[in-house]
Amino acid sequence: MTTLAHTLYSRSFPRTSAWLRDLLLIVAGVLLLAALAQIEIVLPFTPVPLTGQTFGVLLIGAALGSRRGAASILAYITAGALGLPFFAGAGNGLRILTGATAGYLIGFVVAAYVVGTLSERGLERQMRTSLLPFFAGTLIIYACGVAWLSILVGSLSKAIALGIVPFLAGDALKLVAAALALPAAWRLVRE
């Protein structure tokens, strides 16, 4: 099956070569994630900020598919590591890749790939199945983020308290928003 972005792009620009289409979609994903990273709420009791990134990762994976979604997240991480102010709070540089949020960034890549794979199978197109890819992506982000954070703070229970618990309500809202947005977008595309 094809992804939402591929379908929309192919309809809008039918004569564009595949490599140019892929490049433009990947760059669009990078810019979307960089913008959503700037939606940041710093919580004083945790080194992990609340951002719009997880929502962006879920949408990018679903809309771009496994390969383009993961490539977009990798390009985002590379751009931020090389100095562009793309990370949360306009952060940048290699220090982010060893800090408290490094595990989440790795999780973003894996989550985009998994969400993209599930979306390529059509799971994000129907309301009854759309939660599955986004729930899986959220769990992957948490698992990777907390695994790394537990190394930094010296305890899995402390990492869970700092890296998951404060974000459950917000991430549940992001998950539901993504699960509502994609089927609605597919309905518009079919009309």
Instruction: Give the CATH number, domain containing residue 186.
Output: 1.10.1760.20
- Dig out the tokens for 189 from the structure: 């595309």
> What pTM was estimated for this model as a whole?
0.90
Domain limits for position 155 = 4-190
C-alpha triplet 106, 174, 75: angle, nearest 5°: 30
C-alpha torsion sign, points 53, 55, 59, 62: positive
The 3-state secondary structure of 64-84 reads HCHHHHHHHHHHHHHHHHCCC
Question: Domain count of the chain?
Answer: 1
For residue 91, the cross-strand partners are 87
Lowest mean pLDDT among 6-20, 115-129, 156-170: 6-20
- pLDDT tens figures, 9-39: 677 777 777 788 889 889 999 999 999 999 9
C-alpha torsion sign, points 107, 109, 111, 114: negative
- pLDDT tens figures, 67-119: 999 999 999 999 999 999 999 999 999 999 999 999 999 999 999 999 999 98
